[in-house]
Structure 1
């Protein structure tokens, strides 16, 4: 019996060991990024939906690396043309004037801020206890603050609030959108994306014309004049370009959808795990955690893969630039042919 049992157990151990080993995306051919890179100082230590904070106090916004230095202990949240929003772990939210570099207002919220946005003198924010609020800079006070349902765990890719004319759309941590008018904040509309209790927060929120585009880690939703549509998949990233929605799945798929969430094109890269991705005017780009930067045409029918080194620390894409480990990679200079 022992002579039979040992080989069986050994085979079982080998089988289990083989199943537990993680598989990675391994392209047959890759290219170098010669001529498409430059360097920057600092290391990314924190990311928000609208930017990244460097260890030297500067931040990366939509226009690139700032000259402004954030106060010690604060990380970047969002910005507009005039102001920067930054917060610390104690729940202090600062409104910083870009020109002077000085804080014009510090709002003590007492709970860490997950995301925030600023427009027309109003700051919309979401706290990590799933409370949301609207603060008036001119009045120096909260216009409204309410708490939604309790959440037990969230995905760290938290979407920022969205201003649409006088409306504010709050991407909550419990999988719903709270929509209200700044002139009547108590009269809110709620749109539910999902009711899961964990890892269910809104990770993406934007608009295509008059259509809202939102996502949780497992569902994409569009809401507009054409109606409400949903698409279910494990989501790594979402990006809009023109009249198309590009969805990057955790299964290595890149999917092109229209506003009705109908598939127009799809390409799968087996075992790819996207750490960052975007859709630009002329191309689509996705970075695998092992350092394969995949650049495709908008139809997803042609692609070229570049080796930029394993992703060991946070990376961020702003416009057509990818920031990684002190290197700026110009995505617009990389071809897919």
Structure 2
């Protein structure tokens, strides 16, 4: 774990040392979004795929800012309608009951938790030594726990496990998906996305109907009735809307793909570096690291750019809302014309 942390921090330092020569996205014209922006009284200190941890100890989940306190040193991992999951650097998994706001259990996993998901009282988790496991609340026991290949550096955008009926899909840190039955963990299926040596963890995992969509920083795949398809790019983010996949690249491109990953349309914004993105309601939204929010039509033919101000802390999007530096922006009220 210490080696993983050291190499990750070293890589981050190298990136920061080159910032002086970095070129930035500078749109010719921008618009204000102040009329659809309001303060929520805190700021984000950590993000996961399913939410964000706030400086005041609360969290942002799918329903917005929660009044539940996670506890000192804990970061938000995921939630269900009944429970909230939080973890700390000592590898403790805290399970909080939403109806009371109080923890019902703290499970010692001994290694910091990268991601976790809960469904019907069953928790699927991935640790930062590339261990995956399933824990059952009712019986207070680990159903399974195994370790995949060792990793030395990961991308911070780690995907969360996903349940498909009785199956748990584990997004591993070495570019694999491990699919196992939570009731019969002996027979697991492994899908290889990528074989890169570092920064190769699964950063995106979702469903589009009966098709599974997953990505590492270099490769996007779909797996479904049409078999397995792939698209290679330097990936910042991905989003799904109306049977379409939108891919956001590190070169400032927004690419529209069909379910078999054939490009339908694309638009490039020179020097844009996307930090958060989504798509819904016939629009595509991409936030540049310098604070420009690009709103595009679903076919990428039209766009409008809003200036939200420099991004000082991590930004997070859930539903129709963008949380940035203590403000929440209602994206559904922003257009591309």
Q: CA deviation at 1:20?
A: 7.3
Q: Across the two proteins, how many residue pairs are aligned to each other? A: 319
Task: Describe the superposition over 1:202-248 as per-residue Cα deviations: whole angstroms up to 9, x where unpaired.
Answer: 00000111111000000000011111000000000001111000100
Q: CA deviation at 1:34?
A: 3.1
Q: Which is higher, the Rg of structure 1 or of structure 2?
A: 1
> Which 4+ stretches in 1 moved above 3 angstroms?
none
SS in 2 for 1:154: coil
State the match for 2:3 in structure 1: none
State the match for 2:58 in structure 1: 58
SS in 1 for 2:332: helix
Q: 1:111 to 1:246 in 2, by over 3 A?
A: same
Q: Does 1:296 align with 2:296?
A: yes
CA distance in structure 1 between the partners assigned to 2:217 and 2:80 by the alignment: 27
Residues 5-44 of structure 1 correspond to what in structure 2 (within 5 A)?
21-44=21-44
TM-score by length of 1: 0.93
State the match for 1:320 in structure 2: 320
CA distance in structure 2 between the partners assigned to 1:26 and 1:65 by the alignment: 32
Task: Describe the superposition over 1:73-124 as per-residue Cα deviations: whole angstroms up to 9, x where unpaired.
Answer: 1110000111000011100001110110111121100000000000011000
Residues 1-337 of structure 1 correspond to what in structure 2 (within 5 A)?
21-337=21-337
State the match for 2:12 in structure 1: none
- Structure 1 regions of 5+ residues with no counterpart? 1-18
Q: CA deviation at 1:69?
A: 1.1
CA distance in structure 2 between the partners assigned to 1:53 and 1:108 by the alignment: 21
CA distance in structure 1 between the partners assigned to 2:95 and 2:330 by the alignment: 31
Q: CA deviation at 1:183?
A: 1.5
Q: CA deviation at 1:43?
A: 1.2
Q: CA deviation at 1:44?
A: 0.5
CA distance in structure 2 between the partners assigned to 1:84 and 1:292 by the alignment: 33
SS in 2 for 1:107: strand
Task: Describe the superposition over 1:172-229 as per-residue Cα deviations: whole angstroms up to 9, x where unpaired.
Answer: 0000000011121111000000111100000000011111100000000001111100
CA distance in structure 2 between the partners assigned to 1:81 and 1:20 by the alignment: 45
State the match for 1:15 in structure 2: none
SS in 2 for 1:35: helix
Q: CA deviation at 1:60?
A: 0.4
SS in 1 for 2:32: coil
Say what the alpha-carbon RMSD is for the aligned residues.
Answer: 1.1
Task: Describe the superposition over 1:33-64 as per-residue Cα deviations: whole angstroms up to 9, x where unpaired.
Answer: 13111111111001000000001011001110
TM-score by length of 2: 0.93
